[in-house]
Each structure stands twice: as C-alpha cells, then as structure tokens.
Structure 1
Amino acid sequence: MNILQSSDSRMKAIKENTILSFNSAAKFPIDFIEFDVQVTKDDCPVIFHDDFIFSEENGTVFEKRVTELSLEEFLCFGPQREAGKQGKSLLRKTKDGKILNWNVETDDSFCTLAETFQKVDPSLGFNIELKFDDHIVYQQDHLIHVLQVILQVVSEYAKDRPIIFSSFHPDAAQLVRKLQNTYPVFFLTNGGTQVYYDVRRNSLEEAIKVCMEGGLQGIVSEVKGVFGNPGAMPRIKESKLSLLTYGKLNNVPEAVCMQHLMGIDGVIVDFVQEISHAVDDMIIKPLNEGLREGDEETETKSKLQFSQQELSFLLKLIPELIQH
C-alpha cells in the first residue's frame, strides 16, 4: 500500500498494485499477494485500488472513474512502457480529502489482470479482490457481467496457480461462488470498525451469516475487528470458515504473532520483508527447533507460548489498547 502522507518511507517505496510490487513481494516467503481488480468500460479487468483516478491538466485537477475509462485511457496515466512516451500526471486523494502527487521511490506502469498472470512468479498465489464502489447500488445483471469478464481471464491464464477471490460486496462474493466452484471465496469485512448502510458489512457475526448463506469458504477482516471481538473466533471456527486479516496493525510483528496464537489462518501486510522475517524468527524457527530436538516440552519454551488464561487476559486487554 502507498500512503503518500505517511512519514514512513516504506509506504512510498514501490508503486502499489503493479507487477514490480508483486514480484518484489514474491522474493520473500509468502503464499499469496493481494490486489484489487476492476473492469474498464470495454471489459478489460485491470489492477487498481481506488474508484477514481486523479490527474492534472493545465493547472486543473480532474477525476475519472476507473470503470468509465477504456483500457487505452486507463493505461495512459502514470509511467509508460514505451521508451520516451510521457504519461498523464497521476495524483491521489487521501482519506481527509487532500490531493497529493503520487510520487514513489520506484515507479511502475499500470497493468491488466492478464499481464499479472503472465508476469508474476507462477507459484505465487493470487488473492483477487473484486472491487466495487461502496456508494453505488449495483444491479445483479451488472455484477454477473463484471464477474464473468474477470472469470474468463482467470480461466484462460490461471493454470495451476492458487487463487482466492474476495470482496467487500456481499452479493458479488456470493455470486462469484455461484458462478464457479474451482476457487475459494472470502467475504471482506471491516468487522464493525466502520458502519455501513448494508448491515451485512457491520460485524463478524453478519460476515459469518453471509458466508454460510452463500457457501463461502472464509472471512477477511480488519484486524481491529477481530481484536475488538475475540469471542467471534470460536464461532468462525465452529462454522468451519477460514479467517484472514488485514489492516495497519498487521505491520506490527507482535500483533501478527498474537493472531498466530489465536488460530488466525493468515495475515495481509504491507511490510512484507519485515513481517516475513519476524514470523520466521518468532514462530517458524522455534517450531522447527522443537521438531529437531524431539522435545515434547519445547513448545513451552517458545516466547510465543501462553497459557489459555494468559491468552484470554491478553485478548480482553487488546480491545482497550487499540482504541487509543
């Protein structure tokens, strides 16, 4: 993720949602990369997070909705692949409404979903987020069309690559499950950390219902939603659902290790190098040492081991901590 207003240079190191960022992440021991897919008006799935692209011409800032651009128009923004060709300026709007130049240390051009399949290490799994605007009410026919366009590309290029589909849009998540049964589908949720008109998006309990009703395989929650409601964990496990998390706290090694103790199946992070190394040091190496020693008590020696009573206390404490 690029957070241009951040004082942390790592948030501005490599352009997000690009082939370069994916292959840079692939150098580390990860299972999947996560990216956002939208479909242009001429039916090409492209990789881009925001609903709008911002640019500047003759001193005037303008915005264009990604899904209202043709592929050719979309690719005109930012760095160009052709030598000597100048792309249109690229700006970004922050959550507090500021418009900033989208400057990163190592830039890269926009890309399509097909190119991503072709140019990223084939052993690396894809968590394909199906991106829709929170402020638009989509008709089912439109959702089905968009999903079929994406599925066509996946069918053509996926081969043996592991794939997960995920979406914050409950109907889109359930529809993509109906349209195919090859790949697991996860429902994305803020876990109650934000409130939406659609109540299905407002809690982990509602997320469980969406998954059970639609035959989905798992939930991807904002990590604060899980830490703030640890009681949902047993219900998720009882429902035989997988649980992944995302959010800024996942860039903190101790928060990732706490989730490992809680039985969470995976984390989505920005600082891939730092977190993968921390997980190796705090989880994998102690486990491997225990296996080598053949010592049944070795697990208790790991600094990650807590009694059930201690873990319960920490989980009760976390919701208080994350509010500050």
Structure 2
Amino acid sequence: MALKAVHVSDVPNLDQVPGALHAAPTFSKGVELSRWSSFKVPKFLVVGHRGHGMNQLQSDDRRMKAFKENTILSFNSAAKLPLDFIEFDVQVTKDDCPIIFHDNFILSEENGIVFEKRVTELTLNEFMCYGPQEEPERLGKSLLRKTKDGKIINWEVESDDPHCTLQEAFQRVEPSLGFNIELKFDDHVVYPQDYLIRVLQAILKVVFDYANGRPIIFSTFQPDAALLVRKLQSIYPVFFLTNGGTEIYYDTRRNSLEEAVKLCLEGGLQGIVSEVKGIFRNPVAISKIKESKLSLLTYGKLNNVPEAVYMQHLMGIDGVIVDLVREITEAVANLIKPPAATEETLSETIASDDGAAKEPKPHFSERELSFLLKLIPELIQL
C-alpha cells in the first residue's frame, strides 16, 4: 500500500504530549534555553559522534574501531574527555521501546546464511539478543554490518559492548554530558503522521522521565519528524539535519541550506546541523543562518581535521560533531582561546603549564579570511 506524506502543519492539537509540562532544565555548560525561545550556543561545542566516534570497520585506522559505537562503553569513554555533548541515533522497536542503533537493518549469520531484519520490526528482546550480552554466560547472535558498497563484514572492534536503550543511556552515562539525540528514520520510507507521532511520543516519554536536567538537543534528517517533535514539546531545542546540498532527495526540503533555513523558520526550530562540505561549498549561507537567529553545527569527515575545525570556528560556526574525539578536543583546547586584547601578529606561540611550547595558534586578518572563504569552495569540489 502506498503511503502519503502528511505535513505537520495539518496535524491538529499537537502542542503537548501528556505529561510534557516540565520545567526547562538547567544547562551546566553554558547552553541557554528558555521556553519557546531561540537556542543560544555561547561557546564552540565539540560533540562526540555516536559517542567516542563511529565505527569504520574497513579502515586501517584503529581509532575508528576502538569502541563499539552507540554503546554505554563508548559514551562513558567519551565522557572522560572535555566534551560538551555526545550524538547518538535513536529508533523505536516494534513494542515501543526507544533503543540506540544507527543502521536501519541488523544483520546476523546462522548456519552460513546471512539474515537481515529491519530494526524497527524487532521487539526489544529480539534486538538485545544480537552481539555481546550483559550476562557473560549468555551467547548473543552474531553481529554483521553491511558497508556502503554492499559488502558484509563482521562487526569487530577492540572494545565491544552490548546494545543499549535510551533509558539506560540516561541512567548509566555521566550526567553532566549533554545528549544530541538523533531521531533516526529510513531515507527510503515515507512515514504516515500517526507512525511518527507514536515513535516520537515513545522517545519523549523516556526523555521527560529520565533527563533530570541533562542538556539535550534533538536532531533529525526527517523534516516532518523535526516539525512534529517541536510541536510535541517546548523544552528542548530541535535542529534540522541536512547534507547541505551535497546529495539530492525527493523531498526538496532536504536539498539545500536555504531550504533548511526555511524549514526552521516556518517550524520554529532552533538550529541546523549540516554536512561540513555543504558549508565550505557555500560559506555565504553562514551569515544567512546567523541572521535568522539559528545555531549551526556541522558533521562529516573533514571535522576530524583540526585545521578544518579551527576554520569553522573562525567562520562563526557554533560546533562540530567529530569521530576522532580525543584529537579534536585537544586541538580545540590548544587553538580556540579567547584572543588577548593586544594580539596583532599572524601567529603566536602558546606555552603550556609546564613551560613547553605548543603549536602556534594562527590568526587571520579579515582580508585573509575572505580569501580563504573564497578558496575553500574550490578546494572542496576537487
């Protein structure tokens, strides 16, 4: 049966979820939010992607396979570093339990046959049976992963950990660490509005019951889900995820930064999370986003390059989602400092507490920065 998309503006009486009238949380790391107001990011945020970083199982870089992504182990490992938030993906099982998992399908092998099942069609107990188990004596089903080129490989990392639910993340992860909760949906499915409402209500119930003042940001690539979660609650900021025009989708709202700004303004969203290449290819969009009083974060492979992160700081971007969490948090600590009033030189040497010289901190004049902003889009196209 074909499903017709219904825009959120056509859905009546969605101002509140039952039990959603909570006081706004206290943000301990400088993030300010008042009821139905703009979201303000007064510092440059570093956000750990899927915790301590996503898994790239085919990579030769051991850092990309150090901890199983989207697990309690990954989250608490990231919490040991000077992070503001971790980002993770939330889906809802067949029996309405929000779980943390990125892929739309889960793969396992039995008697030489590979089985593939949609995550949202599993019950919680079925989902938790894959991979390592909490009880050491219990053997879980094998866990495989399909790469973007269709190759199926074993999901092997140096430090493994069982799957977890959203509730467990609230209960077991360092409470000062903010959560960027990505509301995960399949790009190839058109969701009816009643399904979106059911899923979002299940997630919000857990958030309201267990957040306890933890900083939270919602984000999603699904435009109607973004608008819905904004209508369903007025406590936590909602950011719209976009590829920034680097990929094209049937839903035109996903195809450019300009469309992302339009969606945010029409739906009262507080920010945008863009693929960093989309920003570098179209740097003039930053001023438009700022003029619209929207916050701007980025994600993507370039965010694992310290120079690219520093460049974004200079461009006025509010924060980055990164995989190489340790390296980028160290780079941010070294490079992004409040400038002294007498700084006039192109670079300065920063001394550490023990007197050893650190890497020079670059500074750019407005003319130099303008040149770099014109050059970067050309480099990104290469």
Would you say same fold, with TM above 0.5? yes
Runs of 4 or more above 2 Å deviation: 295-304
Higher relative contact order (CA 8 A, sep 6+): 2
Offset, 1:157:
0.1
**TM-score in terms of structure 1 length:** 0.96
Corresponding residue to 1:179 among 209, 232, 240: 232
Query: 1:98 maps to which residue?
Result: 151
Query: 1:196 maps to which residue?
Result: 249
Query: Are residue 144 (structure 1) and residue 202 (structure 2) matched?
Result: no
Offset, 1:301:
4.5
Indicate the SS of the match to 1:322.
helix
Offset, 1:309:
1.6
Query: Are residue 304 (structure 1) and residue 357 (structure 2) matched?
Result: no
> Could you tell me how far apart the structure 2 residues matched to 1:57 and 1:299 are?
64
Query: 1:271 maps to which residue?
Result: 324
Could you tell me the percent identity over the aligned residues?
Answer: 75
Deviations 1:24-75 (A, max 9, x none): 1111111100000000000000000000001101001110100000000000
Corresponding residue to 1:113 among 166, 171, 180: 166
Kindly tell me: are residues 299 and 242 of structure 1, through their superposed partners in 2, closer, same or farther at Cα, counting changes over 3 Å?
Answer: farther
Corresponding residue to 1:317 among 372, 375, 381: 375
> Could you tell me how far apart the structure 2 residues matched to 1:299 and 1:227 are?
26
> Could you tell me how far apart the structure 1 residues matched to 2:182 and 2:122 are?
20
Query: 1:34 maps to which residue?
Result: 87
Indicate the SS of the match to 1:192.
coil
Query: 2:279 maps to which residue?
Result: 226
Query: 1:210 maps to which residue?
Result: 263
Corresponding residue to 1:6 among 55, 59, 65: 59
Query: Are residue 55 (structure 1) and residue 108 (structure 2) matched?
Result: yes
Whether contact under 8 Å (1:283, 1:304) holds in the other structure is no
Deviations 1:257-284 (A, max 9, x none): 0000001001000011000001111113
Offset, 1:319:
1.7
> Could you tell me how far apart the structure 2 residues matched to 1:121 and 1:298 are?
41
Offset, 1:323:
2.6
> Could you tell me how far apart the structure 2 residues matched to 1:208 and 1:109 are?
38
> Could you tell me how far apart the structure 1 residues matched to 2:207 and 2:160 are?
26
Report the residue type matching 1:241 in the other structure. L
> Could you tell me how far apart the structure 2 residues matched to 1:41 and 1:106 are?
29
Query: Are residue 245 (structure 1) and residue 291 (structure 2) matched?
Result: no
Which ranges of structure 2 fall in alignment gaps of 5 or more residues?
1-53, 349-360
Report the residue type matching 2:342 in the other structure. E
Deviations 1:184-207 (A, max 9, x none): 000000001111110100110000
Indicate the SS of the match to 1:116.
helix
**Paired residues, number:** 317
Whether contact under 8 Å (1:257, 1:304) holds in the other structure is no
Report the residue type matching 1:173 in the other structure. A
**RMSD of Structure 2 on Structure 1 (CA):** 1.2
Offset, 1:148:
0.4
> Could you tell me how far apart the structure 2 residues matched to 1:124 and 1:135 are?
32
Query: Are residue 131 (structure 1) and residue 177 (structure 2) matched?
Result: no
Which has a greater percent of helix? 1
> Could you tell me how far apart the structure 2 residues matched to 1:298 and 1:148 are?
53
Indicate the SS of the match to 1:10.
helix
Offset, 1:298:
6.1
Query: 2:206 maps to which residue?
Result: 153
Indicate the SS of the match to 2:141.
coil
Which ranges of structure 1 fall in alignment gaps of 5 or more residues?
none
Query: 1:254 maps to which residue?
Result: 307
> Could you tell me how far apart the structure 2 residues matched to 1:58 and 1:28 are?
42
**TM-score in terms of structure 2 length:** 0.81
Offset, 1:299:
8.0
Report the residue type matching 1:98 in the other structure. K
> Could you tell me how far apart the structure 1 residues matched to 2:256 and 2:281 are?
11
Indicate the SS of the match to 1:268.
strand
Deviations 1:112-135 (A, max 9, x none): 000000000111100000000000
Report the residue type matching 2:303 in the other structure. N
Offset, 1:308:
1.6
Indicate the SS of the match to 2:370.
helix
Offset, 1:300:
6.0
Offset, 1:314:
0.8
Indicate the SS of the match to 2:269.
coil
> Could you tell me how far apart the structure 1 residues matched to 2:255 and 2:60 are?
31
